[in-house]
Structure 1
Amino acid sequence: MAIDMKITKLKVFGDSTLIILQTVDEWKTRDAKLIPYHDYLEELVTEFNEISFDYLSRYHNQFDDALATLSSMLQVTNRLEIEPLKIEVLTRPAYCMALIEEPDGK
């Protein structure tokens, strides 16, 4: 998508140290299943004037994981329109209380 949008500078974040280090050639890709992906990535990199790959720990990636989970739950149709999603960041932990029975007995 970035190539189609004619983006020239790209910063890529990943939460796998192994993949990031293999991508920046600090570690060698040895898994035979991953080598074709690595080769294809090397072709894609040439499409950008500037590109970087940075590790982002899973702890700092919780929000992205939540959005990915939400998006995977959508069934996309041709003319799908989605209302804006309001997200509130809490400054304190949120708690949940499970009820076994409602006060009115229902």
Structure 2
Amino acid sequence: MDFEIREDRTAQGRVKLSREREAYSRLMQQGYTNAQACRVVGIDSRTGRKWRNGRSADRRQKAAPPINAVVPPSGPSRYLTEDERLHIADRLREKATIRAIAAELGRSPSTISREVRR
């Protein structure tokens, strides 16, 4: 990994830890546990939990939102695209089964049958 722990280990404040936050977020997306990611980045595990989950407001501190890593959805979205709807219509004209169409699109058969009913 190309990330290096900083030499000055004193408290840096929220703004100055942006490199550590980015590295922590990247490691969490790769599947590291909180403890592993914190150990690599060089932060306390409580800090990692606060970054990941956010913090609710209390008398001394204001609320802090969690890290929002923008990750495109990996699987199919909740809604069918127009291309998928056209594919369903074409395959139904060819007398394909619902299950075959679902397998081709990588969707659940119930999703395809619901679309056909509509």
Tell me if both proteins adopt one fold, taking TM over 0.5 as the criterion: no
Higher RCO structure, 1 or 2 (CA under 8 Å, sep 6+)? 1
Normalising to structure 2: TM-score of the pair? 0.20
User: Quick check: which one's helix share is greater?
Assistant: 2
Normalising to structure 1: TM-score of the pair? 0.21
- For the pair shown, which has the larger CA radius of gyration, 1 or 2? 2
User: Quick check: which one's strand share is greater?
Assistant: 1
